[in-house]
Structure 1
Amino acid sequence: MLDTYAWANLGRTPRFPAVDVASEQRLHIMTRGLLLDWAATAAPTDNATAAAAANAGHALRAFDRRSTLSDPRARAYLLDAFRDFDDQDEDVDPHPHDCAGRCAGTGEVLTVLTWEHHGDDIYTAVHQEPILCYGAPTTHALDCATCEGHGFTYTPGYRELCLDGRIPASEPATSSVVPRDA
């Protein structure tokens, strides 16, 4: 909240460009109003906090150049504005934040691709990269042409993860896989 307050105050000085100030001021009003609304809900007998939350709702509506409403509807507008603000980037996220593929909504999973062999089946991870998340845990196709279905390729001293035959775990593991080069 202090960050939004600082940005809102920057717009009052001519030294800083007003590129992002309007949205930061709106975010400050909305955050302040939501905190006051939460406090008013937690203490229903505190009329001053409820009035301050309603005033913040009215201020947000005035900032959005909308007409005034009753106090309860102004407080409800705060929550609606927050939901609209929170949903604005959901279309950009390739997966939900609680994705079963463990990507946290980014569409990529940081995965170890290369292990160094130290003998006696001891491998140490030496290289990892972000790879495409399928939105679910993955298995490996049994008829993968690159690794023959076991999910790894081996070179002297190294084991590498095969990415050619990755399929979602919900699909049968015997499905045919088209190589990436085709």
Structure 2
Amino acid sequence: MTTTTHAPASVPAAIHPAYDPTPSIPRLITELVQEDFWARYAQVRGDAPHFDADYLANRKRTALLLRAVIADIVALAAPGNTAAAADAASAANAVRSGDWRLQLPAEAARTWLRDQYLEWQHSEAPHPPNCPGGCRGSGLVMQAQIWQDDGVAVHAEPSDCLRGEEPDPHGPDCRCHGDGRRWNAERREYALCDIYTPNPAYEPPQPVASDDPWSTGPYRDERPF
């Protein structure tokens, strides 16, 4: 006996996708730490009254916002973890408290948070005007994308500002072999490897066995003394 199931002709799209694409938590932590530093710096120095009030308020709010987004992403990764969901909702309501808004139930608070994060991402100045990355608040910097075979950059495009941090390195198993650039033999030029993509067929180099009696392993270690 064959049972036939009839699926609906079209599956309705999600009413509110959480994060697309999902933000990088290490990058969020970098931005959170820097925003929190700028918000507290004037207080520690004791000259907060000389800072623009909106500047300090924006730094404090952004730090709370990014903290809540991190908590929300962690909760989304573990749907059955009610404690993580509660933490995310509390963090979202902390942002609302800073905005002098009423508190919301857990799911409503997290939905509101995602809208706020999207709004922050697309704002005219998501980063502070004195951003260490040199974007002057725009959140974008010009980054080389294509290089000649002699290493001279020939094309650049606007890219996300990393707030002065170096890009995360790619491993040797990436399609760029860890260089961060991919060689195009047809065009005889290098292109930026923007996404770390591990190659499942990659085989790490095998250690060379040593016949040194003082060696402590197959990696030709130094003598113990």
State the TM-score bracket (shorter-chain normalisation).
0.3 to 0.5
Normalising by the residue count of structure 1, what TM-score does the alignment of the two structures yield?
0.47
Structure with more contact order per residue of length (Cα contacts < 8 Å, sep ≥ 6): 1
1 or 2, which has the higher strand percentage? 1
Bigger Rg over Cα: 1
